[in-house]
Structure 1
């Protein structure tokens, strides 16, 4: 092996093999005279940049300048695109000539490979802190929850769960105008996500429910005249505004059991909003949904 060949091997080891120990390296074999290469390279650069936080990097190998390396990979034509992980070729990406095709192939690979991506590392760091913020919201400590989510937003400013928690903490703290402004400022692609829809529902619910000065008095009035559904609905809103979701759910469930069609199913719609705000995976929601199903289908 000549000195030039040894240098080429060392460069390939440093720039491709070593990064592949923890990342998925997309290797683009190209040449300056290759027209299709010039068309494909910008696409590879774009997708690699988009997948960088998932552990994907791009390595470009000029076959004219690295003939020895190209020969080792038996490159017969260019562009040729391979994927390497932990020093081994794991896929031939050459057939992917569109962004959609390339993303599809990378997504399939990423599901199979144990990459140490920045995104996964950040997610692991965020998870317990997000849980802490959510628990504070459950406990009614809106200000501390807001502090937690504010710190998280500095770590992950575009994380949808963090953004949702921030907005819901603002709502819980009574700062609904700030919550509305925060949602309005979100990029369109983030604003459409389910996590943000949960926050939007929390804001809508907070604007709908009204605090009641004398909840006990209203409850007594409802008990004396249970067919006054407007008052029962007002009671549920007052209970929710006071942070008593158990009582609010009981009131709404009783309304649904008595007349599920009242006001075009307003009680059920309101209950479903509460479920979404609390979180559809929450054990409390699961218990309440079982009660609702028993009423509707029992």
Structure 2
């Protein structure tokens, strides 16, 4: 009946979906690697949910594809809700709305809120996903990215700098500037750029990606010889520190898939080893990769399946 449901009509477009445990991985975790996904946790008996749901849908529709929305009925998906709660999402109170970017929750709120707060929430999600809600400077950023790809990091840095002058909170431009310094073998200057990022975009996805790249670059400087590390692991396959060290060395050598495989193996053997070091290192690698990188997509899927098993 209408008065009991949050929204009895089926979602009008692919932007808004009813999600269950069966399609959570595809429509939330995987989909959030392309654009942010706003997840509305609701229930039919929840009065504030009936107010908030349509407002969320309107705001997502107005974003014209910059975000998607997933609606999860917690009563119909209790096992999924419990698994997510065990991972740290506070789902004891609904409605709870969570923004997922690159497979991870990055922002949330609870309860019915005004439309202005919903708009601000969605704007933050778009920015954290690397989008540009205000539009405008995309062509300049694309040109700078092409320069960087072609090896002209110095000129690319100038263009990124010009974009920052026009838009001091442009996460893509700050991230591009930092990557230019990484390309010029100057991780210290890359880190200095990141340290100067405005607080409003400090946790945006492009910024977090470069932070991860800087961390991995520093790790690479301290890795041991691959042959020695492989020999140590072959001598004792239960030596988890040797497996972790090998994974770092493999990544430093450009063998990213092999590094991910070793870390997944380590996580499978002991997920709590060294305060969850394997999962943390996997997230660092995933954050450093592009949103559509198959190594990242497959690796996140495998890790999530182990976490939720």
Structure 1-normalised TM-score?
0.50
For residues 190-239 of structure 1, give each alpha carbon's deviation from its aligned partner in whole angstroms, at most 9, with x where no partner exists.
43433223222322333345443521221122122111111111111112
Once the two structures are superposed, what CA deviation does each residue of 1:67-97 show, in whole Å capped at 9, x if it has no partner?
xxxxxxxxxxxxxxxxxxxxxxxxxxxxxxx
- Return the alpha-carbon distance in structure 1 between the equivalents of residues 225 and 271 of structure 2: 27
| Aligned position for 1:111 | none
Unaligned runs of 5+ in 2: 1-114, 123-133
Alignment of 1:268 onto 2:283: no
Q: Which residue of structure 2 aligns with residue 122 of structure 1?
A: 137
Is 1:196 aligned to 2:196, yes or no?
A: no
Local SS of the residue matching 2:249: helix
Residue 90 (structure 2) aligns with? none
Q: In structure 1, which of residues 237, 240, 262 is the aligned counterpart of residue 251 of structure 2?
A: 240
Structure scoring higher RCO (CA < 8 A, sep ≥ 6) equals: 2
Contact 1:211–1:237 (8 Å) recurs in 2: no
Of the three residues 156, 164, 167, the one matched with 2:163 is 156
Task: Give me the CA root mean square deviation.
Answer: 3.1
Q: In 1, are the aligned partners of 2:178 and 2:194 still within 8 Å (CA)?
A: yes
Match of 2:107 in 1: none
Name the larger-Rg structure.
Answer: 1
Structure whose residues are more often helix by fraction: 1
Tell me the distance in 1 between the aligned counterparts of 2:209 and 2:307: 24
Superposed counterparts of 1:200-211, under 5 Å: 200-211=211-222
Following the alignment from structure 2 to structure 1, what is the Cα–Cα distance between the partners of residues 190 and 255?
22
Shift of 1:121: 4.4
**How many residues are treated as equivalent by the alignment?**
176
CA contact (8 A) 1:256 1:268 kept: yes
Superposed CA offset, 1:237-256 (max 9, x none): 11222222112111111111
Check whether the contact 1:222–1:232 (CA below 8 A) recurs between aligned residues.
Answer: yes
Cα distance in 2, alignment partners of residues 253 and 282 from structure 1: 17
1:224 equivalent among 235, 239, 250: 235
2: CA distance, partners of 1:274 / 1:133? 24
Scaled by the length of structure 2, the TM-score of the pair is 0.49
> Equivalent residues in 2 for 1:22-171 (5 A)?
120-123=135-138, 125-126=139-140, 128-129=142-143, 132=146, 136=149, 144=151, 146-147=153-154, 149-157=156-164, 158=168, 159-171=170-182
Q: Which residue is equivalent to 1:180?
A: 191
Distance 1:223 1:146 in 2: 41
Unaligned runs of at least 5 residues, structure 1: 1-99, 108-118
